[in-house]
Chains A and B, each alone.
Chain A
Amino acid sequence: MSEALLEVQGLTVKYDVGREGFWGQHQTRLTAVDDVSFSIARGETFGLVGESGSGKTTTGRAILGKVPIASGRVIFAGRDITEVEGRERRAIRRNMQLIPQNPYGSLNPRMKVREIISEPLVVHRRFKNAKGATERVVELLELTGMNPDDMHKYPHAFSGGQRQRIVIARALALNPDLIIADEPVSALDVSIQAQVVNLLQDLQQRLRLTYIFIAHDLAVVRHISHRIGIMYAGKLVEVAKGESVYRSPIHPYTEALLSSVPIPDPRIERGRAVQVIAGEPPDLIHPPMGCRFHTRCPLAEPRCREAAPPMEAKAPGHEAACWVR
């Protein structure tokens, strides 16, 4: 884990959400991701955590080139891919695959498993058709713990966990380096979720994959990630090794977020003071001045309202954006 496979520098993504003004002369823009930077080493799992609207999914989509980037750079395997398009983009997309959240919506119900898994292979001209790719499909099904005979079935024959295995098999078809998994287990029951999490970990070991694991569930993220980035209202507020985030969080938002997660143990829960933060995340069309969290922060000082704190190293390998801490 030395060279950076992916580097994101000052990534900013804005969405047009309508027009303002009497004649609609002003374009209203929502800043979904604001000046986010991080890097990921080969073979690492980077957990990206945040609540709804924090920008975690948009960050993943921007890296994949699925949303236009307003400013900032995305560097993949040493190459700036921010503005790459067309044929070259397709070549890069081979090395980056997405595992989406909903295994019910991401599989075409009219295609058999063999066609689904071989589709990227055919699109990228590795094979002429699904039949030609059979051997590779069998290999992928075995890799993800499925039965090779399953390739003749349609998605409806499978449970949520099995469908997610098919989605993973498809994502692995082109031997990608980077997998962006966007809430890959949150639609699954806990017992099945554990199967899929274990599978992702095994695959990482075997294939030396690099993961961006996007999730709202901190317990799952802690379990799977080497390093974790916490996002709030479009900003990355803290990045550190998984253990340091959980043992010694620096940003007050991280602290509140960790405190909000219920622990499945009644003795701990009864004796625990949950640090409930009042209020809600801010409006991203008109975000507050200064630190985005100051409206809810128990430690907020006057300077927090005036200027946004920069991301800086607070301890070795532990960065946070906070004036107070």
Chain B
Amino acid sequence: MIRSDHLLEIRNLEVVFPTRDGTVQAVRGVSLTVDAGDSLGIVGESGSGKSTLARAALGLIELPGRIAGGEILWKGRSLLDKRVARRIRGREISMVSQDPMASMSPILTIGTQMTEVMTRHLDIGSREAFTRAGDLLEKVGIPDPGRRLGQYPFEFSGGMQQRVVIATALSCDPMMLIADEPTTALDVTTQAQILELISSLQKDLGLALVLITHDLGVVAGACDLLKVLYAGEIVESGTADQLFHRPRHPYTAALLGSTPRLDVKADRLVAIEGHPPDLRQVSIGCSFTPRCPHATTRCASASPVLQPSEAGRAYACWNPLNGREGPGPSHGEGRA
């Protein structure tokens, strides 16, 4: 046991994937903590390492990928130990991923799949597990649970499948739920239903929620704390209000600027020129330098460290933005 006062603590995590053309450094020195009842949003674009981070936290990094450094602690116990991870995964930490069909077996009924998790982790028989599965389906808003338990995943719509996955994730009373793009595959009206469900369950059950997404809109309502990931590193962290209204890292600001908003009519989106770096050749300096409008020579030669600043926020930047609240999140006027 290593001393940790947090539910989940990740210290300097490094995850690498060796490929034919070089080693991809997917997660580079990420540290974070999650406490009971927290709602943490992890935001990043493709290749930022957000899903790899989630999988690492559950001990699910598969070969040839490996954890090259750092520590992941769950209540002080190392999740790098496969046996510990196996006992905790699905029981104390559970996960909801993007594609509900990928989380379920197509050839087993919902009831069989849900009870399997419970009989494995909890000390209950299959009959009791079945009753419990019915209650869970009801809790996540699936009508007629008795009949539904006997059905196969294909008989459910995408939104309903995701509800089943959430019910299964909650079946062992976990303390933490990791949701990796839980609504990306769904239509907006269904997304609204699922987000509302996740938020209300989080509050009712006092769950710690880690919500991983590329969509700033999704975390705005569901998360109090945010971390922004770019090229495998956390570039900024703080409360949702701080990051949305007073971003200090130019990437956070640029991401906000390039997100079209339904409530604002902007004449032109503020695109981030260029594209994310190749993680096989990691630069010496800040990875955002080639795309950053505020970059100086220093940015290219030395990597800024994630510096804690005022009121629990931190950012890794040599030339941070002033952090004063603008007229609107980088879009200027025109709010409808």
Contact = CB atoms under 8 A, between A and B. Distances in A.
Nearest to B48: A189
A191 B192 contact: no
A312 B188 CA distance: 26
Interface stretch (B64-72, B75-83, B268-276, B300-308): B268-276
Given A261-B262, A268-B220, 13 more contacts: A51-B189, A191-B271, A194-B270, A197-B260, A219-B259, A219-B261, A223-B266, A262-B195, A262-B220, A263-B262, A264-B216, A265-B245, A266-B240
B45 interface: yes
Contact of B271 (A195, A256, A278): A195
A197 to B, nearest CB: 6
A125 interface: no
B268 A262 contact: no
Contacts of A220: 260
Given A191-B45, A198-B271, A269-B220, A264 B256 contact: yes
A247 B336 contact: yes
A324 interface: no
Contacts of A261: 188, 217, 262
A314 B276 CA distance: 47
B89 interface: no
B51 to A, nearest CB: 14
A277 interface: yes
A270 interface: yes
8 contacts: A190-B45, A190-B214, A194-B257, A194-B272, A263-B217, A264-B259, A269-B220, A280-B159
B330 to A, nearest CB: 11
Contact of A269 (B191, B221, B254, B275): B221
Given A263-B217, A265-B244, A223 B269 contact: yes
A147 interface: no
Interface string A30-68: 000000000000000000000110000000000000000
Nearest to B47: A189
Given A216-B187, A256-B189, A198 B268 contact: yes
Interface string A250-263: 00000011111111
Nearest to A222: B262
A265 B187 CA distance: 20
Contacts of A280: 157, 159-160, 190
B244 A189 contact: no
A192 interface: yes
B269 A197 contact: yes
A262 B45 contact: no
A20 interface: no
A144 to B, nearest CB: 14
A201 interface: yes
Interface of B: 45-46, 157, 159-160, 187-193, 195-196, 214-218, 220-221, 240-241, 244-245, 254-263, 265-266, 268-273, 275-276, 329, 336
Nearest to A196: B271
A213 B221 CA distance: 28
A263 B220 contact: yes
Interface of A: 51-52, 159, 161-162, 189-195, 197-198, 201, 216-220, 222-223, 243, 246-247, 256-270, 272, 274, 276-278, 280
B193 A276 contact: yes
Given A159-B275, A194-B258, A268-B263, A262 B269 contact: no
B160 to A, nearest CB: 8
A209 B20 CA distance: 44
Contact of A266 (B157, B244, B336): B244
Contact of A195 (B196, B240, B273): B273
Listed residue (A217, A260, A265) with the most chain B CB atoms within 10 angstroms of its CB: A265
B260 A222 contact: yes
B323 to A, nearest CB: 16
B80 to A, nearest CB: 31
B221 A266 contact: yes
Nearest to A223: B260
A242 to B, nearest CB: 8
Given A192-B275, A266-B240, A216 B188 contact: yes
Contacts of A191: 45, 254-255, 258, 271-272
Given A190-B214, A260-B192, A274-B196, A201 B262 contact: no
Contacts of A246: 262, 336
Given A191-B45, A262-B221, A222 B191 contact: no
A243 B262 CA distance: 11
Nearest to B191: A260
A198 B214 contact: no
